[in-house]
Structures are given as structure tokens and as C-alpha cells.
Structure 1
Amino acid sequence: MRNKSKVFMIMSVFSMVVIMTGCGTVKKAKESIDNYGSNSSKMDEGDKYNAYVDLFNVLSDELTTIESSYAEYHIDEAGNFAPTDDKNALGFIGDTSSVQRAIEEADKAISTKPKMDVDKDVEALLTVLKKEMSILEEIESYYNEKDFLNDHDEKGKELNTKLLSVYKQADKLLKKFHDNMQALMSETEKKERKSHEKEGNKISLGMLQFIDVAKETRNLVNDSITEDGTINLIPEEYAEVNIKISKALDELKAVPKDSNAIAKEGFSSSSTFDIDNFIDKASEFKSLSNTLSASFEDEESLTDSTKEISNAYSALIDAYNKIN
């Protein structure tokens, strides 16, 4: 089976905003791995790396959803705790279980061989994330059981203070984790692509090249959105990336994907379905891009299309990560 690491996508984590994509076979990144330590148990290198990737993913996805919804419900524009008399108020929207699982898997990976430079960053970050998850559980329980007739939000205010304190503790740790992971991802991606080019892996290169263009498109859209929600996207600039999307999709579809081609690139026999699914998601991304390109005269449609592009990019990355 192919040892293929995941593409991961980071958007916003706590107060830090990051946009990036990376991918690579971890076995190529030997510069970042230190095989010291005789008492550590062993773990497949790709599995360990992907445990850290999964942690990054839930930070930017599930945990960001939880944090954003909590802030929307319980923090005012000045950054202060906002009491509520809504008897149906929620603590936040989102499921903490996937975050817990990612934390647990990353925690298991830290002490295993091969050692990686980011181990120490993960360990420090997990200490704070575990605190946050504990507070979020308290918040969820509090709002589920809150007596709105007798409670004057004192407990809610206390929990809010604890949560904001954890956010402050996490800032520098997140920045360090991000920077070191980004360096590892950048080096690994370069080596993976060189390997694909050397071996003539046209399917893999076609998918990665489409992801590159989709990322460029997504970033162009995101960068055009101002703080007040106004979209300053220039039609001529978007037309250029839309052409790139069409070209990348056509090239990907033209690549032979028979059983011999799939086996040559080290994919498993069941990968045909997943590769087809990726192409379907790429086609959907292209269709949504066309819709956005035709929406510049309608502000509401343009706003909707920008959101759909971001969602389609996430779906594309998810589809890629399912291929083995």
C-alpha cells in the first residue's frame, strides 16, 4: 500500500489566522527526523506524521467552529462576557469528540520512534489544548443544565475568564507549532513532487496540480473579503484563475487511470473509486468557480459563491486525503 501523507489545510486557530496547504510522503523528510531514544516504542512514520496532520486539521476545522460559535453567543464586540436570558442558549456549536480523538492520537505519537523535531512543540501545545477541552466540557454542561430563573451568569462569566486565559497561553505555542510544521511540510512537499516527476506519476501530479490551482483560487477569494464583509474581487483577476482551473481539470481528466497506471504509482487496488471521487470534487469546484465568475453583478450571489468556493476546497482536500 502506498505510504501517502495527507494534504492539510489550516484556516484559523484561536487568534491566529493561517492559510496553507501541504502534502508529502513523510519518508522523504529525513532532515526533520532524529532517530534518537532507545526506550521509545515504534510507530509507522507516516502514521505519526498524519496524527500531527489530523491535530492541525481539527484545530482549523472543528475547534475553530466551536470557538467561533462560543464567541458569537457569549462575547460582545468589546470582547467582554455577554450574559444571556435565552433559556435555549447553547454553549457553542460543534462536537468536541473529534477534537478529543485528535489530541489523544497526537499524544500517543509524541513518545514513539522515529523522533521528530515537532514532538516537543506538540507536547507543549497538547498541555494547553487539554485544559481548553476540559473548560469547554464545563461550558457545555453549564448551558445544558443552566437554571435561567435563578442563575445570574456568574458561573458563565467564570468559565469565560478561564477560557480566555487558556487562549492567551496557547498563542505562542500555536505559532511555534505552526511555523515548525510549515517548514517540515514545505520541504516534504518539494521532495514528494520531485519524486513524482522523476517516476512519471502523472495521476499524483495531476491531482496535486489541481489542488495548487484550487488553493490559489480559494486564497484569491479569501483575500478579497474585507473586515466588514465587502468583497473586493476583481473580475479580470478571477477570470485568469478560472482559466487555470479549467486547464488543470482537463489535464487531470486526460491522464490514464487504468489498473496498471494506478498500480505503478503505488495506490491500492481500491483507489480507483477514491480517485474518481477526487475528480468529481474537482469538477464540482470548477462548476462553482464558473458560477462565481458569473456572479459579479449580483452582490448576494457573489457572497454565496465565495462561501461555496471555500467549502468546495475543503471537500477537495478531504477527497484527496481518502485516497490510499
Structure 2
Amino acid sequence: MPTITLSAVAKSYGGGDYAVKDLDLTVPDGAFMCLLGPSGCGKTTTLRMIAGLEQPTAGTIAVADRVLDSVEQGLYVPPERRGMGLVFQNYALWPHLSVRDNVEFGLRMRKVPAPDRRSRAEAALKMVHVDDAIDRYPSQLSGGQQQRVALARMLAINPGVLLLDEPLSNLDAQLRLEMRAELKRIHEESGATIVFVTHDQLEALTMATDVAVMKDGELQQVAAPMDLYARPANRFVAAFVGSPPMAIVDVGPAPTGLAASLLHFVKSRAEGCAPAAVGIRPEALHLGAPHASAWREEATVEAVLPAGSSWTVRLRVLETELYALSYTPVLAAPGDMLTCWTEHMHLFGEDGGRISAWDTRGVGA
């Protein structure tokens, strides 16, 4: 399977506004790369440029040693000659064709002989577990089944690269969970290079081998899912990845309240360390008796939000709202006073870049 390389790629729609700016990104051979970010960050535009549906304003796109787009060379390879499969957010199935005929459609356009078409369609449908619906029509299928048929249609043509543009966003929560597991299995079995666009961090963290976070058309960080979570490159990534999101408290230049408490603690443990902001993830903020080395403050409980397997607690700490995430029952009520504490903080500099993920027990990352 091929490696995809984007070098200094930019896309402008005129008027000086750039949907994608100076993007350098490598999707490794056989990777499951998620392009993650809020609406309007440029992730779908990037996917469409890889597919050939959009032409870059600047830069080069190559798959393995084959250049697909080069503004400098005046080179452009149309979508149908790129050897890629594209699955859209809507399923785009032909309503008057059966499941079998929908999956065979791309093969028919490629003049694949009928016996080969039939066997490849059946194999693709079996891979996505919809082979029992091969003679039905799209209107007779659930949303999850229709999405699987759309995937099978792409898998049948055996593309080296599979491009997925938020294909799960129209599904309900249970179907999204099932399809996440299915996509991960399909990737492992097919070995295809996959580029998946999503704004849902849970999809990115659970499925991807690599995650590329984008904001305002610019790449913020590329990392493995757990590296992204543990070592965010900057404040944006830190706040975007994680639910509930990381609390980031500005601590300079003249901090008061919670900011002053955090900065005093950091300086007492790391001489010369002067961050511009301190971040605390909700799951790192604990309630009850603190460890000896931990930062701690008294907190007022404002709300306890049970979610079955976890409890989210909204706290007021030195006039600042914080959230704590607990995986054991929280026996507290609004108005109760508790001690909150943490041993793990993320420190950020003036430019918003991460200084470190700082563990008060002496482990830095």
C-alpha cells in the first residue's frame, strides 16, 4: 500500500482566504490517519485535494513515487486515475439498484468481467457483514447497513487508498460504535491506507493509528492517539482532545485566585519554571484526601453529573470553575466543600506551545 505525501499544500478560494495553509503531512504506508478538527478547519478540503476533487493552489501531492498534483509542474491527475476509493458522509447509493449491483457498479465502470465482478462484490459484502442482504435495495436497509454497502462498493475495487469523509456522522450512537469497530477490523484485514475525516475526537482516538489535528487550515500536531492525548503540542490541541476538556488557567503576568495558587505550586516544585498557563485534565483532578506531593485547594461542589460508569463533578475553586471526572461514585451534593487535588499538570508557554506534561512525583514528558 502507498504512502501519501503532501508538501507545502495550500488551497485558496480567492480573496486571500486560505482553507488550507502550507500543509506538510505524510500518511504512512498502511496507516489509518484521522484528520481531526472543528468545522471549517480544512480537513475535508485536504481530503478532497487528495482525492482530486479539489486542486491545490500551491504545493505537491504524491502517492508513493507518483505525483498526483504539482502546481509548480502544472501536473494534475484526475480522480478516476488515482486508484483511490472515496466514501462520502451521505451513502450515495443508487436507490434503483440492488445491494449487489451497487457494489458492482465501480467494477462495471472499469470493465471488469462479470464472473470477477460477482466474486469481488460478494467478498466485499462479506467483509462488511452485509452479505445476507445482497439482493435487497437501499430503502430496505438500515442506516448502518447502507453505510456498510457504501464501504463494500469501495473495497470491491481494491483501492490502495480509502478516503472517508465523516461517514459515521449520520448514524445513531449504537451504530457509530458498531461501525467504528468494523472500520478498525476492515483496516486490519485489508491493509489499506485510510484517511478519515472527523470532528469527533472519540472516533479519532479509538480507530486511528495516527491523528492529524487541524485548526484554521493549519496543521497543529500529528501523533499516535494516546501520544496526542498525553502530550498535546499546544493549548488548542490540549483543549480540543479530551472530554470533558482540559481546564487551562492563565497564570501570568499578575495572577490571582486559582491562577496564583497553581503558579505558586509550580514554582515551589520546579525552580525557574514560569509557564504562561497551566492545564489540568478532569480525570487528573481528584477529590478527597490528597497525596503529600500534590497541589490541593478547597472546592465547592456545584453539580454532580452521573453517567453510569463515571461521575462528572462541577466545582468552584477560588472563584474558578473546574471539572473533575471520577470512575467511583461521588457521594456529594451541591454546596458541599471538598478538597480537590492533582499531581499532574500540563504547562504552556507564552506562544501557546506545550512546555511539558509535568508530574509532581518527578516524571516529566
TM-score by length of 2: 0.24
More helix by share: 1
More strand by share: 2
Which one has more relative contact order, counting CA pairs under 8 Å at least 6 apart? 1
